[in-house]
Structure 1
Amino acid sequence: MSDREADRASGPGCHDGVCITCSDAAVEVTVVQLLDQGLAVVDTGESREEVSVALVSAAVGDTILVHAREAIAVVGESSQP
């Protein structure tokens, strides 16, 4: 098995230096935790990753659009008070 095949077999996440949030297309993810310095932990549906939310006003539970580990829009706000 090649290194590339081993990476893919290990499950979701980064493969060949490309993470789910670093692909050419922006992806929708859910904010699960806000961190200091404009960062957040998000749920991609396959894993959890740390991204920047410095350009948007995101809250825990919000659905955000992420490209290259940078949130570029809030597309669904949390229903939590």
Structure 2
Amino acid sequence: MNSRPAALGQPTIRTGPECHDQVCVTCADQAVAVRVLELTADGLAVADTDAGPEEISVALVEAGPGDVVLVHAKEAIAIVEKKS
């Protein structure tokens, strides 16, 4: 979620998506573990998230379908569990 300063003494005005009580892969300040469903073109994959399937980048890791990866800002940054 993006924010911009408001006038002095006024609350910050937020722009962009609101995730409410759940953490989303796109705008979270923390990494989230998700399972890779399928690999697509150009280092991308479809992952199973709490919000449903989302496209993420797996360019930094050697992940495949069934693997659980740690994702921050739609980028897989580590493999948590390899599919057996």
Tell me the TM-score normalised to structure 2 length: 0.71
- The Cα of 1:62 is off from its aligned counterpart by 0.1
Q: Larger % of helix: which?
A: 1
Instruction: Write the letter of the residue equivalent to 2:18.
Output: D
Please tell me whether residue 61 in structure 1 is matched to residue 51 in structure 2. no
Query: What is the identity percentage for the equivalent residue pairs of Structure 1 and Structure 2?
Result: 51
Residue of 8, 15, 18 corresponding to 1:16:
18
Higher strand share: 2
**Superposition RMSD in Å:** 1.8
CA distance in 2: counterparts of 1:60 and 1:45, whole angstroms: 17
User: Which structure would you say has the larger Rg?
Assistant: 2
Q: For 2:45 and 2:64, locate their aligned partners in 1 and report how far apart those are by CA, in whole Å.
A: 9
Partner AA of 2:48 in structure 1: D
Structure 1 runs (4+) greater than 3 angstroms displaced: none
Q: Which runs of 5+ in 2 are unaligned?
A: 1-16
- 2:78 alignment partner, one of 69, 73, 77: 73
In the other structure, the counterpart of 1:40 is: 45
What stretches of structure 1 of length at least 5 have no aligned partner? 1-14
Q: Deviations over 1:31-81 (max 9, x none)?
A: 0010010000000133110000000000100000000000000010011xx
State the aligned residue count: 65
User: Alpha-carbon deviation of 1:16?
Assistant: 2.1
* Matched residue, 1:27: 32
